[in-house]
């Protein structure tokens, strides 16, 4: 299935960029549509080298941690790559995390400098006041770059090695303090190559990146994968339903990476042209890519039918530098409801005792490969629990593998709903609800029940023009799921809480329901 020609082109980010800048300096690397700014590989190297000189002026050294908090754009791409280029560690901050978590991450990560756009600078300054050390806070315009407080110093930092730490990414922390995932240069390059292998990327490909650069999907899929395959990317400030297709067409994108909620929104919007006109303009697009959460089969099939673009469902983790599974590209056949087969990784499905399970049986998904993290920062216990002695990572996902090697994720170990002794995967309820044409977002959860232990309820967001009722959706679920799995109640929300990857946060849904009088 794999093309043997795909191999990591270098063992660290600096060596890769230096090589490309020497061989094809004029080749485009990134386009920023709001300003029209373009960055080729020669300019990329020059600008990243200049950042290294500014880092030296700030007293930063190889191995120091540098953070940034801003939207997508020229500055965030440069800061992300410049930190790696200099041999420092990049630790992006998620603006949606909240003040307490921002303070914790800044303290725990040992960050020495933070680049912040105007809308986040005050929040970073307040967080910095809680720290036991001084840090540099550097203002940055997302479209123009940092406002450096001093002149650069002509001093070169030592080149990083493949085993050096490159990214310190904090998980969402929905079940306590977030954990800091340590990814080396080799991990990052392997993550990018896994995507390039699965999607057969070449220098002719151009990706549209609408997911936030504070998340592993944007970092390793739509930045690192084009980088390792010598392609290019288009990076607007963020996702826009009304502008998405014009970016794809005008910037000649050949693929895009999104999450299921974005696919659901796009299903209800074609921009300023008809469906037929839009399909005609999308002939250059090879595929769209879905990750970060399960893609309901009804949405998957509906999107492909409406727009004529194959959607490749995939699966990745922060701990694996993104992608570990992918469906194959056409004309090879993928499977709806599955994130695919391994590309560049090994997988196994085991029972509670760690024993390998036969085809078709459900157990925990384990993964091993060059992309798997070094460990959790300053947390040896969590590292030991997550990684086996021979390099297998416990994903925490329940899965089964069919006779063709396709993996089907059936739920999370911590999210299973146990009703009257029966295990119910929330995703099964989600998929049933997504099959209804009015449903844009759906999330099922378990709530305490004195008779069954837990009971199933669900929350939905529906199309603004819909008149669908709770009873109609309950009946719809009953026809698809039967009595036991049909939710006891369905609640209509303006939006479902989601993490930076677009994944519905079920624990927060429970909190929202608890606040509703009589909901639980």
What's the pLDDT tens digit per position in 61-81?
999 999 999 999 999 999 999
pLDDT digits (tens, 9 = 90+) for 422-462: 778 888 899 999 999 999 999 999 988 776 778 999 999 99
- Model confidence band, residue 3 (pLDDT cutoffs 50, 70, 90): very low
Q: SS3 for 242-288, per residue?
A: CCHHHHHHHCCCCEEEECHHHHHHHHCCCCCCCHHHHHHHCCCCCEE
Question: Can you tell me which residue has the tokens 């378990």?
Answer: 446
Q: What is the pLDDT of residue 174?
A: 44
Query: How confident is the model over 185-214, as a mean pLDDT?
Result: 96
Distance from the Cα of residue 103 to its chain's centroid: 23
Token readout for 402 is 């069919």
Q: What is the pLDDT of residue 421?
A: 65
Contact 323, 343 (CB under 8 A): yes
Q: Which of 295, 241, 320, 306 is nearest to 441 (CA)?
A: 295
- Model confidence band, residue 176 (pLDDT cutoffs 50, 70, 90): low
Calpha distance 259→263 (Å, rounded):
7
List, in sequence order, every residue forming a beta bridge with 32; answer none if it has no partner. Answer: 37
Identical fold for domains 13-21+35-186 and 417-515, yes or no, is no
Nearby residues of 276 by Cβ (< 8 Å), 6 or more positions away: none
Q: What is the pLDDT of residue 451?
A: 67
- Model confidence band, residue 403 (pLDDT cutoffs 50, 70, 90): very high
List, in sequence order, every residue forming a beta bridge with 443; answer none if it has no partner. Answer: 459
List, in sequence order, every residue forming a beta bridge with 232; answer none if it has no partner. Answer: 206
Q: SS3 for 400-442, per residue?
A: EECCCCCEEEEEECCCCEEECCEEECHHHHHHHHHCCCCEEEE
Average pLDDT, the chain: 92
Q: What is the pLDDT of residue 156?
A: 76
pLDDT digits (tens, 9 = 90+) for 108-158: 999 999 999 999 999 999 999 999 899 999 999 999 999 999 999 987 789
For the chain, give the percent of residues with pLDDT over 70: 95
- Model confidence band, residue 506 (pLDDT cutoffs 50, 70, 90): confident
Count each helix (H run) and each strand (E run) in the chain, helices first.
16, 26
Residue 4 in this model has a pLDDT that exceeds 80: no
pLDDT digits (tens, 9 = 90+) for 31-66: 999 999 999 999 999 999 999 999 999 999 999 999
Token readout for 365 is 């998904």
Q: What is the pLDDT of residue 1?
A: 34
For 418, phi then psi, to 5°, come to -110, 100
Q: What is the pLDDT of residue 175?
A: 46
Query: How confident is the model over 3-17, as a mean pLDDT?
Result: 75
Nearby residues of 508 by Cβ (< 8 Å), 6 or more positions away: 174, 497
Fold of the CATH domain 13-21+35-186: Rossmann fold (3.40.50)
- For 417-515, which CATH class? alpha beta
Contact 186, 370 (CB under 8 A): yes
- Give the relative orientation of helices 13-23 and 41-57 as an angle to the nearest 10 degrees: 140
Contact 499, 505 (CB under 8 A): yes
Contact 427, 409 (CB under 8 A): yes
Residue ranges of domains in the chain? 13-21+35-186, 417-515
- Model confidence band, residue 95 (pLDDT cutoffs 50, 70, 90): confident
Query: How confident is the model over 371-393, as a mean pLDDT?
Result: 96
Contact 407, 340 (CB under 8 A): yes
Q: What is the pLDDT of residue 410?
A: 86
Query: How confident is the model over 338-350, as a mean pLDDT?
Result: 97
Calpha distance 51→155 (Å, rounded):
11
Q: What is the pLDDT of residue 402?
A: 97
**Exposed/middle/buried for residue 387 (C-beta within 10 Å: 0-12, 13-18, 19+):** buried
Query: How confident is the model over 1-10, as a mean pLDDT?
Result: 53
Respond yes or no on whether the N-terminal peptide bond of residue 234 is cis (omega within 30° of 0).
no
Q: What is the pLDDT of residue 172?
A: 64
Output b/e per residue, 254-271; b: 16+ Cβ within 10 A. Answer: bbbbbbbbbbbbbbeebb
Contact 375, 302 (CB under 8 A): no
Contact 123, 102 (CB under 8 A): yes
């Amino acid at each position: 299935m794999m093309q043997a020609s795909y191999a990591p082109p270098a063992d660290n980010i600096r060596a890769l960029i230096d090589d490309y800048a020497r061989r094809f300096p004029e080749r485009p690397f990134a386009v920023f549509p709001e300003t029209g700014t373009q960055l080729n590989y020669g300019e990329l190297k020059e600008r990243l080298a200049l950042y290294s000189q500014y880092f030296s002026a700030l007293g930063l050294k190889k191995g120091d941690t540098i953070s940034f908090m801003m939207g997508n754009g020229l500055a965030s791409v440069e800061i992300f790559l410049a930190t790696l280029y200099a041999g420092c560690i990049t630790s992006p901050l998620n603006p949606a995390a909240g003040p307490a978590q921002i303070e914790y991450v800044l303290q725990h990560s040992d960050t020495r400098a933070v680049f912040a756009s105007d809308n986040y600078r005050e929040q970073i300054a307040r967080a910095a006041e809680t720290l036991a050390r001084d840090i540099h806070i550097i203002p940055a315009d997302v479209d123009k770059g940092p406002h450096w407080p001093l002149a650069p110093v002509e001093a070169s930092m030592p080149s990083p090695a493949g085993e050096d730490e490159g990214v310190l990414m904090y998980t969402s922390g929905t079940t306590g303090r977030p954990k800091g995932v340590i990814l080396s240069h080799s991990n990052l390059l392997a993550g990018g190559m896994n995507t390039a292998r699965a999607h057969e990327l070449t220098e002719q490909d151009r990706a549209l990146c609408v997911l936030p650069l504070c998340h592993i999907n944007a970092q390793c899929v739509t930045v690192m994968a084009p980088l390792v395959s010598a392609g290019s990317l288009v990076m607007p400030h963020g996702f826009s339903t009304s502008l998405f297709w014009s970016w794809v067409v005008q910037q000649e994108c050949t693929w895009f990476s999104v999450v299921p909620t974005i696919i659901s929104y796009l299903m209800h919007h074609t921009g300023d042209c008809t469906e037929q006109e839009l399909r005609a303009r999308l002939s250059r697009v090879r595929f769209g890519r879905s990750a970060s959460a399960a893609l309901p089969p009804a949405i998957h099939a509906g999107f492909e039918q409406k727009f004529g673009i194959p959607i490749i469902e995939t699966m990745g983790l922060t701990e694996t530098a993104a992608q570990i599974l992918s469906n194959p590209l056409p004309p090879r056949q993928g499977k709806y409801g599955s994130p695919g087969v391994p590309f560049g990784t090994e997988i196994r499905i085991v029972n509670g005792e760690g024993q390998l399970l036969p085809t078709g049986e459900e157990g925990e998904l384990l993964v091993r490969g060059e992309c798997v993290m070094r460990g959790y920062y300053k947390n040896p216990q969590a590292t030991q629990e997550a990684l086996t002695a021979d390099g297998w990572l416990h994903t925490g996902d329940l899965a089964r593998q069919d006779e063709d090697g396709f993996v089907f994720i059936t739920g999370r170990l911590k999210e299973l709903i146990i009703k009257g002794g029966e295990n119910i995967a929330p995703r099964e309820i989600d998929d049933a609800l997504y099959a209804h044409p009015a449903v844009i977002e759906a999330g099922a959860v378990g709530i305490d029940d004195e008779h069954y232990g837990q009971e199933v309820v669900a929350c939905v967001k529906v199309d603004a023009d819909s008149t669908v009722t709770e009873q109609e959706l309950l009946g719809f679920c009953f026809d698809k799921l039967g009595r036991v799995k049909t939710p006891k109640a369905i609640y209509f929300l303006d939006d479902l809480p989601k993490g930076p990857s677009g994944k519905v946060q079920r624990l927060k849904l429970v909190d929202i329901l608890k606040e509703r009088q009589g909901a639980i």
